[in-house]
Structure 1
Amino acid sequence: MEDMKKLDPATHAWLEQMAPNTWVKAYFSTFPKCDLLLNNTCEVFNKYILEARELPILSMIQRIMGQLMTRFYNKQKELSEKWPGPVCPKIRKKLLKNSEFANMCFVQPAGVCIFQVQSRGFDYIVDIGNKTCDCRRWDLTGIPCNHAIACLRHERIPAEDMLPSCYSTETYSNVYAFNIMPCRDKTMWEKMNGPPVQPPVYEKKVGRPAKSRRKQPTEVQGRARPKLSKHGVIITCSWCKGENHKCWLCP
């Protein structure tokens, strides 16, 4: 943070106003079993309903319902045909990758469920009883890290047995177990004698509608796409190592 403050005081002041658990991995909660700070789930769902969002309200709901019906059916079929075993495929791949790195770990037992693991010149304390490790990968994701897998091998415990239930195919099956029932035709809907649903009033705006996003003042239009300028970057001379001038303008 001190280096950031010297480099860009405005960015440092902006980050100081935010809680550390919203952007620093060291302060993340271990409850959700996720070590990522992304909004990809929202972005993927918005892309999934992009065409439906342009429709009227009833047509939009019916389109989204049809997409979810197809998705639930495909997930049920995929689980029954392509997912053998008790663990989801992506989690199994991560376990196998961590198992390869566990070959370079040296384990020293310190007590019941407590181990000291040496890996690449660092020492880590692993508690397989509480499922914690000093690297915090096991704490945040619930997937045993390479240090934990090395300790589990020492105790002859399969790494898959230490996974939380959220990574099991049984939990995945329970999520997509129910079906979204289709609706009857509009002519068979029950009359509720409510106010009719009308589309919003169309207001024509002045000018051509914007299609491109608003660019930042520091963005420069390149040949293929916009690019960031060197705004705020301190230029260093390659000859005298001085600042704010180039080598061909060096005094």
Structure 2
Amino acid sequence: MLQWRLMFTKLIDVSEVKDDSMKYVVDMEKKHCICNFFDINKIPCIHTIVATKRYKRDENHYVDAFYSTETWAKAYAESIHPGGEISTPIYPENIDEFSCQPPATKKSSGRPPTKRKISVGEFGVPGSKS
């Protein structure tokens, strides 16, 4: 697991988080980090979490309202009905001309991998060899 060294500058919710190789500037007020994970996914990145823990704040307050239970409930509050009648489908005259073949694939050589690949931003379980 990466060891984070913290360098914080108190400039209206702007923090500098430093790891082994790079500095990351986190603006908690604007919900921005230079790694862009926070900007794109609207979920706090690891740098933002480090900064919020340093100032004893709750990182869940920086998650966008898009991920809230209320937003989910509003999105699925009403039923979605298919358009048209299922019993009388209308197909174009030249439907036989349309075809979509599967892409040509080549079977990989060797034994298939048995372990799951770790994604970006994911760390191994503490205490394990990963």
TM-score by length of structure 2 reads 0.60
Map of 1:177 onto structure 2 = 77
Which of 27, 44, 48 pairs up with 1:144? 44
Which of 19, 29, 35 pairs up with 1:135? 35
Letter in 2 for 1:105: W
Letter in 1 for 2:56: R
**Structure number, greater radius of gyration:** 1
Which of 43, 46, 62 pairs up with 1:162? 62
Distance of aligned partners of 1:200 and 1:177 in 2 relative to their CA distance in 1, 3 Å threshold: closer
Q: How do 1:47-126 and structure 2 match up within 5 A?
A: 104-111=3-10, 112-126=12-26
Map of 1:187 onto structure 2 = none
1:152 is paired with a residue of what secondary structure? helix
Which structure 2 residue ranges, 5 or more long, are not aligned?
83-87, 108-130
Q: Which aligned segments of 4 or more residues in structure 1 are displaced greater than 4 angstroms?
A: 197-206
Q: Report deviation, 1:107.
A: 2.1
| More helix by percentage | 1
Map of 1:78 onto structure 2 = none
Which structure 1 residue ranges, 5 or more long, are not aligned?
1-100, 183-196, 216-224, 228-251
Identity level (%): 23
What is the CA deviation profile of residues 27-49 of structure 1, one whole-angstrom value per residue up to 9, with x for unaligned ones?
xxxxxxxxxxxxxxxxxxxxxxx
Q: Report deviation, 1:104.
A: 2.6
Whole-angstrom CA distance in 2 between matches of 1:204 and 1:130: 51
Contact 1:113 1:127 in 2 (8 A): yes
Distance of aligned partners of 1:122 and 1:177 in 2 relative to their CA distance in 1, 3 Å threshold: same
Map of 1:33 onto structure 2 = none
Q: Report deviation, 1:199.
A: 4.8
Letter in 1 for 2:44: P
Aligned pairs, number? 101
Q: Report deviation, 1:105.
A: 2.0
Q: Report deviation, 1:203.
A: 6.2
Whole-angstrom CA distance in 1 between matches of 2:28 and 2:101: 52
Whole-angstrom CA distance in 1 between matches of 2:23 and 2:89: 67
Distance of aligned partners of 1:204 and 1:121 in 2 relative to their CA distance in 1, 3 Å threshold: closer
1:179 is paired with a residue of what secondary structure? coil
Distance of aligned partners of 1:131 and 1:180 in 2 relative to their CA distance in 1, 3 Å threshold: closer
What is the CA deviation profile of residues 108-148 of structure 1, one whole-angstrom value per residue up to 9, with x for unaligned ones?
22123111111122111111111111111111111111111
Cα RMSD (Å): 3.6
2:9 is paired with a residue of what secondary structure? strand
